[in-house]
Amino acid sequence: MRKLRLIIPSLVALILITFVEKNVFAQNIVFPKIDRHPIISDFHRGKLDSIPVYNPASTNSFQVNLRGYDLSKLDLSGSLESLLYADFDDRTIWPSDDRMPGDYDPEHIMELGKNPGLGVWSLHDRSITGRGVGIAIIDQPLLVEHIEYVERLRLYEEINIDSTINPEAQMHGPAVASIACGKTVGVAPEADLYYIAANPGIWDENRQFRYDFIYYAQAVRRILEINGQLPSDRKIRVISISVGWEQGQDGYTEMTAAVKEAEEKGIFVVWCYADREYRFKFQGLGRHPLDTPEKESSYVPGMWWANSLDNWLHTQFNFLMVPMDSRTTASQTGADEYVFYREGGESWAVPWIAGVYALVCQVNPSVTPEQFWDIAMKTGRWKKVTSESGVTYSLGSIIDPPAIIGEMEKIVPPADAEDEDTNTGTLMLEAPSLNPFKPATTIGFTLPADSGVTSVVQ
């Protein structure tokens, strides 16, 4: 009897603790939910006596890093080759025009880089913008106030971020968020953004970083919790993770299990795969900073792998090729500031793919990741490229977003018959684009036959 008296209070306590924990985590989220506002990052850079010289044989990124520097006293008229590989931002102070190469216009390059490319803007002109679709991103601390995505940001949380050590926003976060759903540079400018900042590991007592993906696994499961509270017409459909993990790293098992759980719930998880068994293989494309992002002919192998085509393209793997280099993104240096990255890396390809998937989900909410990938591969384009060894390869499949949407529109579940009106006519109007880099768009409106419209005056 005495043992029973001891056991019963313990069971009651355990039940109470479990009840409290479940109710704490089950509390309804009030959106927008912004847990912290990381401060802007200031490079505190001054003047340069000269700019770095680009070395094509080097594998180092940011070789010609001009972000935040004062170049006003330099004569760069003979530095075109290096400038064509430069990273710069709105805080870069340039020399006067007479001390700049005639073919180099930083403002024009910045504007070209804002275009997601390959027909994405034409989809926006058709109101295919990702509206009603949720994109979740796990990455570094975000400048939550940036004008590119502040209106789309529904949630910002942090997991293993010590804001007392580094309270600033980092460069990676604003870049990936704006590529996915930025209002001017993004692929899906009206998608909902859910963002969890986390480090993919920890720093030990010697300040050496050690990967541990248990924290990213926690972030994935937190996203699933959030998704459980969202209405059916505003669910998170894709998670963008611009990092990769592989066997042998701490947290690999936990991360793999979390991703599998998300996939089983119908969420597309895009990440920088390290595992050759990853089903959705992709690679990033490069682009000369003065070439138009709209044309497939402008794209070449990405900068980080262009010198190793024989290693990449001789395989039997089928890659989906997407824009990566020469992109303008939101900057962590100010809420209305931008940065041009000459070299992107796979980190920039991941949110681009996530954005396209959001567009597809808007058009066809029943789409699956496998169905999307199959259509993307089949509708993509191919081009010939030659490696340094002289071998010619086929580069592709280069993604074609309008073609994907066209195929998706063919398989959208039909509307109810009672909603259909066969007694209609079609009115075609040309709508000029507000963006000077976008062409005018022809828009079709379906009108009832008794609408009274008989002609259009041009």
Question: What's 179's domain CATH number?
Answer: 3.40.50.200
Render pLDDT for 135-161 as a digit per residue (tens, 0 to 9): 999 999 999 999 999 999 999 999 999
Residues 282 and 431 in one domain: no
Residues 341 and 307 in one domain: yes
Measured between alpha carbons, how far is 222 from 239 in angstroms, rounded to an integer? 12
Residues 397 and 431 in one domain: no
Does residue 14 form part of some domain?
yes
Name beta bridge partners: 444: 428
Residues 175 and 282 in one domain: yes
Whether residue 32 contacts residue 155, with contact meaning beta carbons closer than 8 Å, is answered with: yes
Task: Look at phi and psi of residue 130 and say left if phi exceeds 0, alpha if psi is from -120 to 50, else beta.
Answer: left
User: What is the value of pTM for the model shown?
Assistant: 0.85
Measured between alpha carbons, how far is 161 from 148 in angstroms, rounded to an integer? 23
Which are the contacts of 421, defined by CB distance < 8 A and separation ≥ 6? Answer: 448
Residue 435 is classified by DSSP as S
Q: Which amino acid is at 349?
A: A
Does residue 26 form part of some domain?
yes
pLDDT in the model for residue 458: 36
Kind of pairing between the strands at 236-241 and 134-139? parallel
pLDDT in the model for residue 404: 98
Residues 287 and 425 in one domain: no
Measured between alpha carbons, how far is 315 from 276 in angstroms, rounded to an integer? 12
Residues 260 and 300 in one domain: yes
Residue span of the structural domain in which 220 resides: 120-410
Does residue 39 form part of some domain?
no
Residues 318 and 421 in one domain: no
Whether residue 40 contacts residue 335, with contact meaning beta carbons closer than 8 Å, is answered with: yes
Dihedral of CA atoms 190, 195, 200, 205 in degrees, nearest 10, equals: 140
pLDDT in 10s for each residue of the chain, 458 residues: 444 444 444 444 434 434 433 444 457 999 999 999 999 998 889 999 999 999 988 888 899 999 999 999 999 999 999 999 999 999 999 999 999 999 999 999 999 999 999 999 999 999 999 999 999 999 999 999 999 999 999 999 999 999 998 899 999 999 999 999 999 999 999 999 999 999 999 988 888 899 999 999 999 999 999 999 999 999 999 999 999 999 999 999 999 999 999 999 999 999 997 655 678 999 999 999 999 999 999 999 999 998 888 887 776 567 899 999 999 999 999 999 999 999 998 999 999 999 999 999 999 999 999 999 999 999 999 999 998 888 898 898 999 999 999 999 998 766 553 344 444 444 444 444 433 333 444 444 444 444 444 333 33
Residues 188 and 300 in one domain: yes
Helix (H, G, I), strand (E, B) or coil at 419: helix
DSSP H helical ranges for 167-320: 172-181, 214-227, 252-264, 309-313
Residues 427 and 343 in one domain: no
pLDDT in the model for residue 274: 61
Residues 136 and 272 in one domain: yes
Residues 207 and 307 in one domain: yes
pLDDT in the model for residue 315: 66
> What residue has token string 């990449």?
312
Name beta bridge partners: 393: 385
> What residue has token string 């109710």?
23
Dihedral of CA atoms 407, 408, 409, 415 in degrees, nearest 10, equals: 140
Q: Which amino acid is at 199?
A: N
Dihedral sign computed on CA atoms, order 280, 141, 176, 183:
positive
Does residue 38 form part of some domain?
no
Residues 8 and 126 in one domain: no
Q: Which amino acid is at 264?
A: E
- For residue 165 the two structure tokens come to 């050590």
Which are the contacts of 371, defined by CB distance < 8 A and separation ≥ 6? Answer: none
Does residue 148 form part of some domain?
yes
Measured between alpha carbons, how far is 71 from 74 in angstroms, rounded to an integer? 6
Does residue 47 form part of some domain?
no
Does residue 155 form part of some domain?
yes
Split into its structural domains, the chain has a count of 3
Which are the contacts of 28, defined by CB distance < 8 A and separation ≥ 6? Answer: 229
